[in-house]
Amino acid sequence: MPKLIVTHKGQAHRDEFMAICILLSALGERKAPLCNIERRDHTPKDLADPDIIVLDQGGVFDIANGNLDHHQLPRDAEPTCSITQVLRYLGIDVITAREIWQWLEFSERLDSKGPLATASHYGMPQESLLATVSPVETFMLMWFEKCNYIEVDSPLHDIMSGIGREKLQYLQAVQERLIGLAQVT
């Protein structure tokens, strides 16, 4: 089980923040010890250690070693971000997650294709894209960005785990409801 999550330093983005939230919650549900989070450059040793999840950096997607990057994909690849890679790592169906979490595809496209291509894809002026950013999201990303080390049981770690828990519970509840509806009809 992972003992540490390492993600890039510098500007924080929705994709690695939400990916870590989901990861923390899923690991907690699996009774794994909760992981500390370090925002720093990865090392070759990190990439080789399956007990360290290297997220959103490293240029490698390798589930067995916990290397969950998407930046090595070609520019014309399907929109993919850190959230996508974490879902794959956890064995969660990405297509189903996109259908239930309406925000996921937007996040994937924004992170992998950029704001201009995302605005164009959704047929909106680029300046309208800013209207889609929540002030709560901005605050959380700024808080996350200021931290180089996020320790288990710190307020930010607790909030991130809670966000992930809510997202995974919602995903599971909707999936169960859809299964129930399919059995009735």
Per-residue pLDDT tens over the stretch 30-55:
776 779 999 999 999 999 999 999 99
* Confidence (pLDDT) at 32: 67
The mean pLDDT value for 21-34 works out to 85
Run of H or E residues at 6: strand 4-7
pLDDT above 70: percentage of residues in the chain? 99
Beta carbons within 10 angstroms of residue 41's beta carbon: 12
Edge-first strand order for the sheet with 61-62 is 61-62, 67-68, 52-55, 4-7, 36-39, 149-150
Enter the tokens of residue 183: 């059995």
Share of the chain above pLDDT 90, in %: 84
Mean pLDDT value across residues 164-176:
96
Q: What pLDDT does residue 28 have?
A: 84
pLDDT at 1 over 70: yes
pLDDT at 33: 72
pTM for this predicted structure: 0.94
d(CA 105, CA 34): 28
> What average pLDDT does the chain have?
94
> Is beta strand 4-7 parallel, antiparallel or unpaired with respect to 67-68?
unpaired
pLDDT tens, residue by residue, 69-121: 999 999 899 999 999 999 999 999 999 999 999 999 999 999 999 999 999 99
Determine contact, residues 56/46, Cβ cutoff 8 Å: no
Centre a 10 Å sphere on the Cβ of residue 35 and count the other Cβ atoms it contains. Answer: 23
Contact yes or no for 12/141 (Cβ under 8 A)? yes
